[in-house]
Every structure is written in C-alpha cells, then in structure tokens.
Structure 1
Amino acid sequence: MKKNIAVIMGGYSSEVEVSLKSGQVVYNHIDTEKYNPFKVHILQDKWVVLDENNNEFSINRHNFSSEINGKKITFDCVFNAIHGAPGENGTILAYFDLIGLKHTSAPFYQMALTFNKRDTLSVVKQYGIPTATSIYLNQGDTISEDIIIEKVGLPCFVKPNNAGSSFGISKVNAQQELIPAIEKAYKEDSEILIESFLDGTEVSVGVIQYKGDTVVLPITEIVSENDFFDYEAKYEGKSQEITPARISKEEEETVRKTAKRVYEILNMSGFSRSEYILVNSKPHFLEMNTVPGITEESILPQQANKHGISLKELFTNAIEMALN
C-alpha cells in the first residue's frame, strides 16, 4: 500500500512565499508510484490540506489528520519544506515527535540549534572551525557604535540571529550606516549578530544523508551582482551560482572535509546547505540552512543533479530515510 506523505509548506516567517514554491516542487516531483503526496499549508491563521482543485480541508491538530470528502486521511511521514518558523527552527518537529509522526528533517533540537546563528557559531568554534569575528545583541541592549566597529571593523554585516533567505541583512560600509542596519535587523528578530567582513570566495556546500551515508555534494561558488548574497541575489537572478566552484583541488578537499565535519559536529541528519568564505584558502563557516531552497533553480538541487541525483531520487531518499 502506498504511504501518505504530507508535504508541509508556508510557515510563519517572511519566507512563506519561498516555502510555498519549494513545497510545490516537492509535491510535483514525489514518486507517485510509491507515495500519495498531499499539499499541506501551515500558516498563521490555518493548517489545511489542499486537494487537486485547491479546496481546503482543516488539519486536526490533535493527531495531524484530516477529513477529505468524507474520508479520514492520516499520514505516514511529513516532508518538511517550511523555511523559517515553525519548520526550520524545530518547533513543529517537536510536535510531530510528540504525536509519533515521522519527518524528513533532523531532530527538533538540531533544527533549533542550527537556526540560531549565534549558538551554532559557539558550538563549531569549540572544534576549531574558523568563523568571522562577531558581536551579539538583544533588542534593548545599549549600543556603542565605537566598540562594535573596534571589534568587527568595517565593512561588517548586521543580520537577524534567527531568520533566513537573507531577510533583514545589511552590509555596513560606514559608521553612519550601522544604526539603520541594526534597526532593520530588529524588524526580523529581537536578537541580532554583527560580523566582520570576510574578503574571499563564497561557496555553498550541500551535505545530505543519502542511502545511509553522509554525502558532500559538489560545491557551488556564489558570485553576487549585489554587495552580498542577499534576497535578490538568491531568488531574483542577481547572482551567478557556479557548480562546481572554481577553486583549487586543495581548497575543494578542505571545504569538503570541513563541511562534513561541521555536519557531524552538529549531529545533523537530512538536508543541509552551509555557506563558507574562503580566506587565504581556509574555509570560514558562516551558517547552516537545514531546510534549504528546493526549487529546480535552488542551489542544493543543482548540486544533487551534478552528483547524479534527480529531484525524484532526492525526495524518495529523504522519505525512505525518515520511514526507516
């Protein structure tokens, strides 16, 4: 009998539209000879299953079931395509654990940890992984522009601590730009991170579990037309994403080893895509995305394709690893 798969998408953050696109791609490419996929929108005002005509049927939050045209539907597995809260920060995954429903993501604690940029950096630094110099602020903290700039220098980056898709991030080139950048970041999150500028080649590395093994996918070089890899660069074509990256064999080997090491340090499973800056051939870890974009144009599917893994194979593997 075919398994029922709930593809959850949407979420409660600024990334809702990106997530809906990713979720639709998953829904379109799931192997329907093996599974019955269902589109499930998890939104602030409603949790609903959509049928082929986009009619909506409410989710029973006690057991994550639904009644569609008089028939009760229960799910064997959830495919998590929610960027940001509550999918990428682990919240809804803790709920699935409580009701005994399997899902394609890492355990909720790992998701919560990696969604918090400060805490992730704190962990990987203990293992000798190079990172940018950083300062952490809570909303309401006293701000000394001079102290911040003395520590991280200029230019620097100001970013929300818990957000994705580059929402709320600014590159600060002059002191007078610092406070507006901080205010922008606080619109996304009450915790922010200010990091030193790393001058080097930016690369993105997908690490996944595939057929029981940890697999480092081909590395992508990011060349942004904008000042940095912002929302426009990520989603509106304002960047070149070159796979495989134009780096030396030695650099490639170092990046691959580091990316796999970070994945293991953080006890990850499922999908991940991490960003690094190569400074003097040494990869500096920026952050990890545990629900990376999975449209046809997104980086991780591009990397999987170069590795010889189709979207259907990628999604089938994620479901099978969750079910086993």
Structure 2
Amino acid sequence: MINVAIVMGGYSSEYPISIKSGNVVYENLDRKIYQPYKVHILKDKWVLVNEKNEEFAIDKNDFSAVVNGIKITFDIVFNAIHGTPGEDGLLQAYFKLIKMKHTSCDYYQAALTMNKRDMLSVLKPYGIKTAISYYLNQGDVVNEESIIQRVGLPCFVKPNRSGSSFGISMVKNTKDLADAIEKAYKEDNEIIIESYLKGTEVSVGVINYKGETVVLPITEIVSDNEFFDFEAKYQGKSKEITPARITEEEKMKIEDAAKRIYTILNMSGFSRSEFILVSGEPFLLEMNTIPGLTEESILPQQAAVAGISLTQLFDNALQLGLKDSI
C-alpha cells in the first residue's frame, strides 16, 4: 500500500475550501492502491486527523506522525491547500528539503504563479495578452488620479497573492478606490489594480495526464454578480458551462495560450487559468496551481467532460508525483 498524506487547510482565508477539497480527495482514492491520511496544516498546528477526529502532531523533521504508538510515514503528499503555504511554494520548498514527493508543481513555479503581477510580467514578453495594470505595496503613497489615468474606470482592485476572490473589488467611481484598496490590503500587503476587460470569462484546466500535457474542456463562467466573486464561485451565484459556448477559433486560441503558459512556466501537476475573451482574443487574468477539487469545482467538472473521473484524476497526480526525482 502507498501511504498518502492529504494536506489541507492552510493559513489563508481559503482554508475552509481547502478542507472540502482535501476531504473529496480522501473519499475518492482507490483503497486497493492507497492508504490515505488527512493532515491539517493550520497556523497553530500541523496534525494528522483520524476517523474519530483525534489529532496526532506532525513531526516536522521528517513529516511523520506517531499514532497510538506506531510511527506513520508517507510515500507521497497530495497537496490540496489553496493559498499559503501550499500554493505559494513554502510547502513545496520544505518537501524538497526533506526529500518528500508531492503532487503539486515545484516551489519556484508555485511562488511565481501565486504572485499575479510577477507571473504576468514573466509572460508578457511571450505575447500573452493581459489587462493594463498598476501596482501598490502597503505604505506607498496612493495617487488616485495617476491610477485612474493608467487603468481607467471601471477597474479591479485585487490582493496580489490570494485566491477565491477574497479582497477583490470592482471600482466604478474614484471615490470608492480608497475603500477597495483598504479591503485588498486586509488579504495582502501587495495590490494589483487592473483595467476592466469586457468580454466572456472562461476557465481552462491544463494537467499532465499520463505523461502528456493535456488541455481540458473549457468552461464558460456566467456570473449573476458583476464579476466572478466569492458568492459566484461558492454560493451558486453563477453558471459554469462546459464546454464553453465559444467559436472553434476562440477555443483554439485559448487552448494554445493555456498550453503555452503551462510550458513556458515549466509547470507540472494541476493548473487552471482564467481568461477574458475580448473580441475573440484571450487575455490572461491568473493561474491557480491548487484549484478546487470538489465535485462542483471547475477543474473536476472539466475532467468529467473529458471522461476522467475524480479517482482517475487523483490517481494520475499521485503516480506522476511518485515518479518525480527528489
């Protein structure tokens, strides 16, 4: 049997979503091959949680746990943490140091993709289209006139390193800009302010499946709200249509951009990129390297349309992770 630690939780506002993702992975692993364990990585504790909800401390020296007098070690970690420390490279770097195999991308790719403005800066020379942007660090003097002059109205104010739309605001009037910036700073000390792109929002998963880079069916996102915010993502205020209602030419352009980005960044494991189609051209918004993994989440929906079950999806990630050299 292969011992799998499914890490979930994390230190960000996304931790409840991560717990759901981790539990879905736990329920869908093939018990003939894998012995899964739930491991909660939280700010105040790292613990293995058994079926009785009993907690056993993780020894950070080798990422093991002693359960009822028996030491449990793991062959591989299935990373289901959205946000820090599972999606920003911190855990990946730790796992590399202790020579632990895992399912996510390497630490550099994780750190780069979590930092929206750095990732977009790396991709621009390759011709990847993006919104016009303006950057702020906490403590910077805020020149509202300069910001609006660059990005226009409406615009989006976003924490630079967060997910699940936490801290994002759509700003239509200059008077609302200061409040939006303050809201974003509650999630991160770096902010990205972007021009509004009017068009069709789509999401596309790219994964390494059985050793090949595979672009999954594209999902069209139709939000009941003004944009794909937290309510739209997790509280049923959106329609997610897979495959997307787009032309064959648009589909090919999105697939090409998504695959190129995955290759340019030397990605591995899961990825899900968000684009806005403007006059038939895809503009990249962001990439997630630990996307939601529940049945309702976008990437599993796309996999299902491609004929890949959750069990197959998770088994593939583990098998590829086990083959990686450490």
* TM-score normalised over the length of structure 2: 0.99
- Kindly state the Cα deviation for residue 126 of structure 1 after the two structures are TM-superposed: 1.1
The secondary structure found in structure 1 opposite 2:276 is strand
Q: Structure 1 CA distance, aligned partners of 2:244 and 2:91?
A: 35
Alignment correspondent of 2:54 = 55
Query: Does residue 83 of structure 1 match 2:82?
Result: yes
The secondary structure found in structure 2 opposite 1:120 is helix
- How many residues align? The count is 323
- Please report the RMSD computed on the Cα atoms of aligned residues, expressed in angstroms: 0.5
The residue type paired with residue 13 of structure 1 is S
The residue type paired with residue 19 of structure 1 is S
The secondary structure found in structure 1 opposite 2:293 is coil
The residue type paired with residue 307 of structure 1 is A
Q: Structure 2 CA distance, aligned partners of 1:49 and 1:55?
A: 8
The secondary structure found in structure 2 opposite 1:300 is helix
Alignment correspondent of 1:227 = 226
Alignment correspondent of 1:92 = 91
Point out 4+ residue stretches in structure 1 off by more than 2 angstroms.
none
> What 5-or-longer segments of structure 2 have no aligned partner?
none
The secondary structure found in structure 2 opposite 1:8 is strand
Query: Does residue 242 of structure 1 match 2:267?
Result: no
Query: Does residue 256 of structure 1 match 2:255?
Result: yes
The residue type paired with residue 11 of structure 1 is G
The secondary structure found in structure 1 opposite 2:262 is helix
The residue type paired with residue 183 of structure 1 is E
The residue type paired with residue 305 of structure 2 is K
1:173-212 C-alpha deviation (Å, 9 max, x unpaired): 1111111000000000000000000000000000000000
Alignment correspondent of 1:189 = 188
Alignment correspondent of 1:180 = 179
Q: Structure 2 CA distance, aligned partners of 1:58 and 1:129?
A: 45
The residue type paired with residue 275 of structure 2 is Y
Alignment correspondent of 2:167 = 168
Query: Does residue 127 of structure 1 match 2:126?
Result: yes
Q: Structure 2 CA distance, aligned partners of 1:320 and 1:184?
A: 41
- Kindly state the Cα deviation for residue 93 of structure 1 after the two structures are TM-superposed: 1.0
Q: Structure 1 CA distance, aligned partners of 2:45 and 2:142?
A: 39
1:84-108 C-alpha deviation (Å, 9 max, x unpaired): 0000001011001000000000001
User: Structure 2 matches for 1:1-324, cutoff 5 A?
Assistant: 2-324=1-323
1:128-168 C-alpha deviation (Å, 9 max, x unpaired): 11000000100011111111001100000000000000000
Q: Structure 2 CA distance, aligned partners of 1:65 and 1:129?
A: 42
Q: Structure 1 CA distance, aligned partners of 2:50 and 2:180?
A: 43
* TM-score normalised over the length of structure 1: 0.99
The secondary structure found in structure 1 opposite 2:300 is helix
Q: Structure 2 CA distance, aligned partners of 1:266 and 1:171?
A: 29
Q: Structure 2 CA distance, aligned partners of 1:139 and 1:47?
A: 30
> What 5-or-longer segments of structure 1 have no aligned partner?
none
- Kindly state the Cα deviation for residue 23 of structure 1 after the two structures are TM-superposed: 0.4
- Kindly state the Cα deviation for residue 219 of structure 1 after the two structures are TM-superposed: 0.1
Q: Structure 2 CA distance, aligned partners of 1:102 and 1:302?
A: 27
Identity fraction in percent: 66
The secondary structure found in structure 1 opposite 2:197 is coil
The residue type paired with residue 202 of structure 1 is E
- Kindly state the Cα deviation for residue 52 of structure 1 after the two structures are TM-superposed: 1.2
The secondary structure found in structure 2 opposite 1:189 is coil
The secondary structure found in structure 2 opposite 1:177 is helix
The residue type paired with residue 193 of structure 2 is I
- Kindly state the Cα deviation for residue 287 of structure 1 after the two structures are TM-superposed: 0.3
- Kindly state the Cα deviation for residue 234 of structure 1 after the two structures are TM-superposed: 0.4
